[in-house]
Structure 1
Amino acid sequence: MLSVFNLVLPFFGLIFLGFFVARINRQPLEALGWMNTFIVYVALPAMFFQILSRTPVSELTQWGFIIGCTASTFCIFAIMFLIGMVRTRRIDESTIQGLAAAYGNIGYMGPPLAILAFGAPAAVPVALIFCFDNIFHFVISPLMMAISGNDKRSKSELMLGVLKKIFFHPFIIATILGIGAAVAGLTPPLAMTRMIDLLAAAAAPCALFAMGATLALRPLKRVPKELYLIVPLKLLVQPLMIYGMLNLAGDFPPVWIHTAMLMAALPTATNVFVIAQQYGVWVERASSSILATTLFSILTLTLWLYAMTNGLIP
């Protein structure tokens, strides 16, 4: 158990440092703008490129794994969405609730934690989950908002917006370039390789610090009743569902299954708040969901990692 604490606590320690510094320094939320730009457009893409460009091509085409992971994400979204519809009869609110239960922090927390926990072999499943889960979320959010009437764009504008989000997202671009480099067997010049390595090393601490600062600067005003469903669905049910899906989908290495479970057990992504704010729906409660799942995940992630690293998951 001590080894698991030594693995998890530095990650949550960085989040806490960001939270603490933001509380005492009292900078506005907009002050994080350039740091978030560095993380999203430079550091994390460099890490994805670094990982994928060194990966054997045969490992990048595991369609059974991709389908199993994406199907489990969709199931969790659908469960919470249907519960929200029964309670509110509103498609837009139910969509944000579904995202809060299904959309984990697979960008900021997922890659560094999985690679530190399971080593370099975790890099490929992390990248596959990130790409296809994000494609799912980029499609489902505007689609459901359009159905609800909250998104007033035409069908062509809506489709163009979805395609832009998918193909112009820095992480997706970095993934495509990384896979291209792996297929072609290209290696960047030494100076560029060293720069990419430096940027990749900065990705995790910067992302986690910024996440803590963001949580501190968003006021906790409305605590939704749905939290008693969102927290267990996100942190407990989704990892179990992805375990079942992958065991049905094929025979994968244990590190792939454990990585998928860990990614599924991550707290709600801050992007859920961004989507809620974009459409003006469930904004304060989305922020509360992120904070609540992050706090509870300190316990649940520790337990999941202990179970995985001690052979308690068959």
Structure 2
Amino acid sequence: MASVFGLVLPFFGLIALGFVTARVTRQPLEALGWMNTFIIYVALPALFFNLLAKTPVEELTQWRFIVGTTLSTFAVFALMFVIGIFRTRGRVDESTVMGLAGAYGNIGYMGPGLALLAFGEAAVVPVALVFCFDNTLHFVIAPLMMALADDSPDRPPAWKLALDVAGRILLHPFILATIVGITAAIAGFRPPAAAQTLLDYLAGAAAPCALFAMGVTLALRPLRRIPAETAFIVPIKLIVHPVIAYVLVSYIGDFPPVWVYSAMLLAALPSATNVFVIAQQYGVWVERASAMVLLTTVGSVATVTLLLYLMTNSILPPDLF
């Protein structure tokens, strides 16, 4: 257990440092803008490129793994969406944000750093595949469901919605970096030594900066009240999602233990800060979305620690079947 605490305490410690620093220095949330720009557009893309460019091509075409992980995420979204429909008496927009809070994990900021610390570079490909296809799913679901909920006469036409969704997917920095990394792996391209050193510097900064920024964000969006939906969303996100991912990935294919464990770990991560961003963008469920990010993050300290203990001590079999 000491080894697991040694793994997760520095990780969650960075989030706590960001939280405490924000509370002490009292900087406005806008001051975080350039840090987020560096993380999203520079550091994390460099990390994804660095890892994927060295990956054997045959490992990048595991479609059964992609189907298992993406289907598990969609199943969790659908479950929480249906619960939301009953609780809101048919509000599609609010139910969509609830569904995203239950299914959209913090796989960008927390996923790569924690998986690599826990499982080493063997986790690179499964993490990248989950990241790309889960994000694609969310980029499609959010605008599509909000368009269905929009009954105003000036809502955008279907073709414009389709272009917007395609743009969000193809132009996202993480996905662009993944495409470039996979292309480099296929072509056998290696950057010159100076460029590789720069990429290494940037990749090394990705996880610490992302986690610190996450702590700052949580501190500057205070929890005013605990929403009633917490009773559904927190256990669905932190417990039900990884269980479904475990069952589906085990059932669909025969994958290396690191792949199964990586799928579970990413599924067990707390709600992404992007859930709040989406809620704010559409003006729906904003305060409660912020609360869900905070509450699932706090809860994940216990659940992720326990999950890592079960996986790293071979208590949890790598293949359920």
TM-score (norm. length: structure 2): 0.97
CA distance in 2 between counterparts of 1:287 and 1:250 reads: 36
Q: 1:232 aligns with which of 207, 232, 235?
A: 235
Equivalent residue for 2:91?
90
**Contact 1:48–1:171 (CA<8 Å) still a contact in 2?**
yes
Secondary structure of 2:178's counterpart equals helix
1:303 aligned to 2:306? yes
Runs (5+) with no aligned partner, structure 1 = none
Q: 2:197 aligns with which of 190, 194, 219?
A: 194
CA distance in 2 between counterparts of 1:205 and 1:184 reads: 31
The correspondence of residues 123-142 of structure 1 with structure 2, limited to 5 A, is 123-142=124-143
Equivalent residue for 1:148?
149
**Contact 1:121–1:255 (CA<8 Å) still a contact in 2?**
yes
Equivalent residue for 1:62?
62
CA distance in 1 between counterparts of 2:31 and 2:300 reads: 27
Structure 1 residue runs of 4+, over 2 Å off?
A: none
Instruction: Give the Å deviation of 1:234.
Output: 0.5
Deviations 1:36-89 (A, max 9, x none): 000000000000000000000000000000000000000000000000001101
Deviations 1:149-199 (A, max 9, x none): 178222111111101110000000000000000000000111000000000
CA distance in 2 between counterparts of 1:74 and 1:231 reads: 17
Deviations 1:86-139 (A, max 9, x none): 110100000000000000000000001001100110000000000000000000
1:203 aligned to 2:211? no
Equivalent residue for 2:267?
264
Identity fraction in percent: 66
Give the root-mean-square deviation of aligned CA atoms: 0.8
Q: 2:224 aligns with which of 218, 221, 226?
A: 221
Equivalent residue for 1:74?
74
The correspondence of residues 95-106 of structure 1 with structure 2, limited to 5 A, is 95-106=96-107
Q: 1:293 aligns with which of 285, 292, 296?
A: 296
CA distance in 2 between counterparts of 1:188 and 1:73 reads: 35
Instruction: Give the Å deviation of 1:222.
Output: 3.9
Equivalent residue for 1:13?
13
CA distance in 2 between counterparts of 1:86 and 1:236 reads: 22
Secondary structure of 1:80's counterpart equals helix
How many residues are treated as equivalent by the alignment?
314
Secondary structure of 1:311's counterpart equals coil
Secondary structure of 2:289's counterpart equals helix
CA distance in 1 between counterparts of 2:229 and 2:140 reads: 24
Secondary structure of 1:218's counterpart equals coil
Alpha-carbon distance change, 219 to 150 in structure 1, aligned in 2, over 3 angstroms: farther
CA distance in 2 between counterparts of 1:190 and 1:5 reads: 36
**Contact 1:104–1:267 (CA<8 Å) still a contact in 2?**
yes
Secondary structure of 1:119's counterpart equals helix
CA distance in 2 between counterparts of 1:99 and 1:148 reads: 15
1:171 aligned to 2:161? no
TM-score (norm. length: structure 1): 0.99
Instruction: Give the Å deviation of 1:9.
Output: 0.5
Instruction: Give the Å deviation of 1:223.
Output: 2.4
Secondary structure of 2:133's counterpart equals helix
The one-letter code of the counterpart of 2:116 is I
**Contact 1:92–1:150 (CA<8 Å) still a contact in 2?**
no
1:274 aligned to 2:281? no
The one-letter code of the counterpart of 1:106 is I
Instruction: Give the Å deviation of 1:253.
Output: 0.4
Secondary structure of 1:105's counterpart equals coil
Equivalent residue for 2:49?
49
1:113 aligned to 2:114? yes
Runs (5+) with no aligned partner, structure 2 = none
